[in-house]
Amino acid sequence: MNYYEVLRIQSNASILEIKNAYKKLVKKYHPDIYEGNKLFAERKIKEINEAYEILSEKEKKEIYDAELNYKKYEPKIDSFVKTYSKEEINNYTKIYYNNSNKKAKNKTEKKIENKKSFDLNAIGKKYFFKLDKALKTEEKENLLIILLLLFIIALCFGFLKLIS
């Protein structure tokens, strides 16, 4: 129920205008004076009194105005809901699946490209750094010594094969 409509005034009405409208409507709809349906007059007077009680006090009026403005600009559910035809839904699904298939194809193409290029240095760095992080400094030194020894042994065997 809009109290401004009940008192038949505008929302920017002054307190004096609110009082005058209240007095005018009470004289018109008072059950003792009203010549029509007494129950209607009683209900109307209750509405008028309730509206006057809220709008006559400054603090209550400010709260009521804030609530009224909120309701006026409150988004309605209908503004969020849009119905789509079967054609539109089919088009959207085709577009969605085409895009997702393109993304999947791009990923597989990148994987294939990565498999084509066989970079020994990259592989060595990848596994060496993993090994490097896992080992302690003493173990690294021991591993280097072992690798050097194996390298020296391989050179010796190669040299021996050349001589014989």
Q: Residue 14 is part of a domain; what is its CATH number?
A: 1.10.287.110
Is the per-residue pLDDT at 80 higher than 60? no
**Based on the domain organization, do 69 and 13 belong to the same domain?**
yes
Q: Mark whether 65 and 125 lie in a shared domain.
A: no
Query: How many structural domains is the chain composed of?
Result: 2
pLDDT confidence bin for 144, thresholds 50/70/90: confident
Q: Is residue 83 in a domain?
A: no
Return the pLDDT at 45. Answer: 92
Residue 111 lies in a domain: no
**Do residues 64 and 123 share a domain?**
no
Cβ atoms 22, 5 nearer than 8 A: no
Which residue segment(s) compose the domain that 53 sits in?
3-73
69 & 129 share domain: no
Please indicate, yes or no, if residue 45 is contained in any of the structural domains: yes
Supply the pLDDT for residue 63: 87
- Say if 112 falls within a structural domain: no
Query: Which residue's structure tokens are 């409509």?
Result: 5
| Alpha helical stretches, state H, the chain | 3-7, 15-29, 38-56, 58-73, 77-80, 86-116, 120-134, 137-163
Residue with tokens 């505008």: 10
Q: What is the pTM of this model?
A: 0.44
